[in-house]
Structure 1
Amino acid sequence: MSVMVVTGAHSCGVTVSSLALALSSPRVSLLVEADASQGSVRHGFQQGRWGWEVGLWNLAAAQLQDQLAEAFEAHLRPLDEAGNRWILPGLTDPMQAAALSGTWAPLAGLLQVMDQSAGYDVIVDAGRVVVEPGRLHPTLYPAPLLHRADLVLLVVRNTVTSVAQTVPVARALREELDRAGSGADALRVIMIGEESRGRGMASDAIARRLEAPVVAILPWDAATAHLFTVGPERAPKLGKMELVKQARKVCAQLQVDVQTRRLRLQMPPAPVSSPVVAGVLQRLAASRHHVPASGQEAPRG
């Protein structure tokens, strides 16, 4: 089980990578669309299945009423028919982001409990990194979600331009994690192999420039990216898609990385913070629409 935040210097590639990881996790998974500029899965991959009344923005009002856990449960939606993949849909308007400034931190704690007490792999699509002098932007970027994540996955294409534009972003993330998170060594790089035949930058060169290890390489899969961002014309066979197949291998590698890092840091399990949260977790685990047992592996689709 793990909590991993996916982000980038550009929005391009972050949502596709996040969705690929959430759909490929060996365990039950929850995708959280935390991009402050607004989410795209609702109208893209899910083709408008839910309206504006569902999603992240509703948690801001619930937090003010001390009902975050209940609202969190009420706004989860399935990504598959089997009930193994779930999503908290994102914002529908960038103007909503300001209302969430006081919600990110308690939501981060709830996601940590979903991981360590309910057995979910939590993937957070944090979108494009937004910075202001000296730190990550407190309103336009969900920085508190990074602070309690096992890994922060920085998506970069293997082009010279993409890497150059990502260098200051990687520096800002390292400084943020050192100052307020679990340490700069939580930062990892996912490389998108956009250029081939020796034209793109090699992974070791990218790791040196960004001062963070490249832990995964995902293929440039235009067909699957189009399906994830625009939506399928018919039910997709995800297991046959190259991006999904590679993402499944990446998930396995990342889980080893997470467990190794937890052992090294001797990170304690997240406590169940209240009877309300405990009740929510129990319903999520016991409901026939959710996974029946903590840590149970999800069947491959």
Structure 2
Amino acid sequence: MAIIVMVSAKGSPGVTTTALACTLSWNGRTVLAECDPAGGSVLSGYLSGLEIPPIGLLPLAAAALRDQLADTFAHQLVDLDANRPGHRLVLPGINDPIQSGTIRPTWESLAAFFADLERREPGYDVIADCGRLSTGAPPWPLLFRADLLLLVVRVETLRTIAPAVGAAEMLRRELTQHGQGPGALALALIGEGPYRRRDIEQRLLLPTLIELPDDPRTAEVLSDGGGRLRGNQRLLRAAASAEPAVRDAIARRRAHLAPTSSRGSSHAR
């Protein structure tokens, strides 16, 4: 894998919880990058019991402006797993939406750097938590570079599903006009409601790759910290079971794009 971006529509939270659950349960080496322009929440939530210096996306963006990404990156990470050091890492996000203006000019460089992480030794996949699209200034270069772009939708009520229709249409349009097409777009569904998975897929015209159950106790720990996680909890088991489908979707998309990319590269250069 390379870059997996997670976003949600207005009124449908759950991106950070989904991203954390996948990061903590998947087998591959993973960096969870908090790229939400509205601000990150892992330091103030899941990791709130730790004293962590001001590191993360903001100093990394400053390093990008100085062309020092590679030298700075490792110093901006927090290790999430004491039992497997260096296996599950988090790049904390900004703590004030005002800081998003500093990050904006560096998204192209950051996206390219994240894409290259899987080819390093050791290699890493990146799960980018980009928050809600309603922020007004999503990190589009990162969304366009994604191998997989997951629209996270809570399915309990029509109020949480309806905004996803417009979000899906916008993402398809933007990926078609500026990215590599809408083939990277899929759904991550959270919870249960009166609508079947097939009904939601038909309404949004997207396939589902991740389904997570309602697991309030685990979700509360991932959101607010202060508790102990076990691998057999429902939310983490469901996230872990989604990894093969995610990897297969990325592999199939890359195989589909490879001939086009090769022709485009030779023609452009």
Flag whether TM exceeds 0.5 (same fold). Answer: yes
User: What residue in structure 1 maps to residue 111 of structure 2?
Assistant: 108
User: Does the Cα contact within 8 Å between 2:40 and 2:94 map onto a contact in 1?
Assistant: yes
Superposed CA RMSD in Å reads 1.8
Poorly superposed stretches of 4+, deviation over 6 Å? none
User: What residue in structure 1 maps to residue 203 of structure 2?
Assistant: 209
1:155 and 2:123 equivalent? no
Letter of the structure 2 residue corresponding to residue 98 of structure 1: G
Mapped partners of 1:226, 1:143: distance in 2? 30
2:184 to 165, 175, 186: 186
The alpha carbon displacement at 1:31 in A equals 0.3
User: What residue in structure 2 maps to residue 125 of structure 1?
Assistant: 129
The alpha carbon displacement at 1:150 in A equals 0.6
Letter of the structure 2 residue corresponding to residue 191 of structure 1: L
- Note the alpha carbon deviations across 1:88-108, whole angstroms, 9 max, x for none: 011111110011111111110
Aligned residue pair count: 256
Letter of the structure 1 residue corresponding to residue 174 of structure 2: E
- Note the alpha carbon deviations across 1:83-130, whole angstroms, 9 max, x for none: 210010111111100111111111101111112444312111010013
Distance 1:31 1:213, change over 3 A: same
Name the SS of the counterpart of 1:153 in structure 2.
Answer: strand
Name the SS of the counterpart of 1:146 in structure 2.
Answer: helix
Structure 1 spans left out of the alignment, 5+ residues: 132-136, 270-301
Mapped partners of 1:60, 1:116: distance in 2? 21
Name the SS of the counterpart of 1:5 in structure 2.
Answer: strand
Equivalences for residues 1-301 of structure 1 within 5 A: 1-10=1-10, 12-47=13-48, 49-51=50-52, 53-81=54-82, 82-83=84-85, 84-118=87-121, 119-130=123-134, 137=136, 140-158=137-155, 159-195=157-193, 200-233=194-227, 235-237=228-230, 239-266=231-258
User: Does the Cα contact within 8 Å between 2:149 and 2:184 map onto a contact in 1?
Assistant: yes
Distance 1:116 1:174, change over 3 A: farther
Identity %: 38
- Note the alpha carbon deviations across 1:146-179, whole angstroms, 9 max, x for none: 1111110001112222121111111111111111
Name the SS of the counterpart of 2:105 in structure 1.
Answer: coil
Name the SS of the counterpart of 1:130 in structure 2.
Answer: helix
The alpha carbon displacement at 1:69 in A equals 2.1
Name the SS of the counterpart of 2:32 in structure 1.
Answer: strand
Letter of the structure 1 residue corresponding to residue 190 of structure 2: I
